[in-house]
Amino acid sequence: MQRTLGERKGGPVALLRAAVVLLAALVMLSACSSIPMSGPVGTSQGEEPQTEAAEYTFNPPGPVPGADPKAIVDGFLLAGTAAQDDYRTAREFLAPSLAGEWQPVERTVVYRNSVNIVGSPTDTEFVVQLEVASVIDEHGIREPAEEGATESVPVVLTDVDGEWRIAEIPDGTMVSNVDFQTLFSAYNLYFYDATYTYAVPDVRWYASRQGVSAAIVSSLLEGPAPYLSGAVISAFPEGSTLVRRSVPVESGAATVDLSAEVLTGTTFLRRQQMQQQLELTLGGLNTVSTVHMTVDQREVDLGPSPDPAFQAAVTNPAVGSLQIGVLDNELTFYEGSRPVEPQNLPAVSELNPRDPAMSLDQEHFGFLNARRNRMYVIGPDRTAHQAVAGTQLTAPSVDPFGWTWTAAGDQSGAVYAIAPDEERTRVDITAQWFSERTIEELRISREGARALVIAREGDESKVYVAGVVRDQDGQPRSISTPIELDASVPADSGVWANESTVIVMQSSADEPVETEILRLDGGSQRMAPLTGMLDISAGNGDQDVYAQTEEALYIRVGNSWAPQPPPLVIDPSFPG
């Protein structure tokens, strides 16, 4: 019977891993007088200037002379964890005809548990069977796999001067879920919203190795991930490329050398926006402090500094400390641990207000009635106007441009955005994929380019993030096909906590409720359960969190919940 690599404790992969561990231990012992007290495991500090972010280094051995075909396949899989020198060790397991052609970063399959290598009667053909956790494409875009997804990778070997080598295998590498956490790091590429006001993060994954800065810039020039297509823009024109696939970093200065056509017809304003986009993106590398943009190795003329029309893009917009909620059937502000009577807001008790929302500048407000079949908006005239009538409307969300959003939770796919103008113009938003699901939450991100959507499909709830497509004046047009976040708790409510974090939960009046922090880089964390949690709000980060029950309002303290003094303000919400 064929046994998996994990089961064959004395098999080649296990022995190779043991050798690697032993070698690492010997190296550490020999260098104990200069072991750093901080920094990633396996980082080697040479005398040459560091030009990239510190990297984790795996050093698996190359092919053993006389190794049988199965051992060569085992060794190649292990060597896929060593990204240094363009996967030099992994290439040693390949036949000369393939070694120079194989593209390791074309695709990375992240697998759960262990691999199963199935042979054939000829001993030269194998199939590597994997339970897929996710796949990273050549642009660093990570796509989680469906539960139970599998993949079969064919491998063909040949004899090269008396030694077995791999002659055929698809481009890409295969790494375990455990190794992936060490080998790969998440980075934010930054694009602009439609108005160039905000910088919007696009999370990508790259192996930690020399040359990661070039991979990051190349992906940036190629444009946003599909779910953000149309929702964000780049200052770089389509087709922009590096002169060569290299972004050297020396003494903290990264040099991005672009092809000449990138600047054709550009204004100084556009060049400054390019420069800023590079600075925001490469700022995620701890070795980069400045960025030099060049064309054919000549410094780009950025013109007046800054151009009169240039504005510094806002990253991770803050929402302040003031919330809006409901107290005694009227709208109220809530700050710190007490309600604050709002100025110039109308009395709305006859409308039975619930689920209020407001803009950051406190000029635009929205709320539902108790039956959640009407949405009202309040503008600068401080009068409540009915804006939407529907079924099972989601809690309103006010974007940074003053548009107030809601969706119908009746599988109709109806999404509405109310303009901040005097006429309260209603725009029906196109979101075809909504019609296949029951929408339970719709929250626009704080820069307005993305939407958090919680939807129920049958008995299962799912959490999505989609792009919000707008005109240049900020008017919304559509919501793109989303990406799914991997929530481990059921959810019917959620909020943004910052530009890359959402918090989700499923309300219950009498059961313990677990909330989960979901990060767009795939990380997650569960909070302590709170019995009877009905609502949640988040301010500036995942520690600035409030939860409401029928009896009290709570604030997150560490990983616990501390009750706030009465009176009870219900449905509290930070701007957004």
Compute the chain's Rg from CA coordinates: 27
Per DSSP, the three-state class of 410 is: coil
Could you tell me the two tokens for 173? 């590498």
Q: What whole-number distance in Å separates Cα of residue 421 and Cα of residue 402?
A: 9
Q: What's the maximum distance between 2 C-alpha atoms anywhere in the chain? A: 88
Q: To the nearest 10°, the Cα dihedral for 134, 139, 141, 145?
A: -30
Q: How many helices (H) and strands (E) does the chain have?
A: 7, 39
Phi and psi for 137 in degrees, rounded to 5?
Answer: -90, -175
Q: What whole-number distance in Å separates Cα of residue 364 and Cα of residue 362?
A: 6
Q: To the nearest 10°, the Cα dihedral for 496, 498, 503, 507?
A: -40
Strand locations in 395-459 (E): 397-398, 404-407, 415-418, 426-429, 438-444, 450-457
User: Could you please report the per-residue DSSP string of 173-240?
Assistant: EEEEHHHHHHHEEEEEEEEE-TTSSBEEEEEEEEESSTTHHHHHHHHHHH---GGGBTTBB-SSPTT-
* Mode of pairing for the β-strands spanning 476-479 and 483-485: unpaired
3-state SS string over 463-511? EEEEEEEECCCCCEEEECCCEEECCCCCCCEEEEEECCEEEEECCCCCC
- The β-bridge partners of 184 are 207
> 262 exposed, middle or buried (CB, 10 Å; 0-12, 13-18, 19+)?
buried
User: Residue for token digits 């990983």?
Assistant: 559
Find the distance separating the first CA and the last CA of the chain, reported in whole Å: 58
Distance of CA 197 to the CA centre of its chain: 20
Residue 544 CB neighbour total at 10 angstroms: 16
Per DSSP, the three-state class of 565 is: coil
pLDDT tens, N- to C-terminus, the chain (576 residues): 222 223 333 333 333 333 333 333 333 323 332 222 222 222 222 223 233 444 456 789 999 999 999 999 999 999 999 998 999 999 999 999 999 999 999 999 999 988 999 998 888 999 999 999 999 999 999 998 988 999 999 999 999 999 999 999 999 999 999 999 999 999 999 999 999 999 999 999 999 888 899 999 999 999 999 999 999 999 999 999 999 989 999 999 999 999 999 999 999 999 999 999 999 999 999 999 999 999 989 999 999 888 899 999 999 999 999 999 999 999 999 998 999 999 889 999 999 999 999 999 999 999 999 999 999 999 999 999 999 999 999 999 999 999 999 999 998 999 999 999 999 999 999 888 898 899 999 999 999 999 999 999 988 999 999 999 998 888 999 999 999 999 999 999 999 999 999 999 999 999 999 999 999 999 999 999 999 999 999 999 999 999 999 999 999 999 999 999 999 999 999 999
Q: What is the reported pLDDT for 133?
A: 94
Q: What is the reported pLDDT for 125?
A: 96
Per DSSP, the three-state class of 400 is: coil
Q: What is the reported pLDDT for 472?
A: 83
Half-sphere exposure of 268 (CA within 13 A, CB side): 10
Q: What whole-number distance in Å separates Cα of residue 273 and Cα of residue 271?
A: 5
Type of residue at 101: E
Residues 6 or more apart whose Cβ sits within 8 Å of residue 546: 323, 536, 537, 538, 553, 554, 555, 556, 564, 572
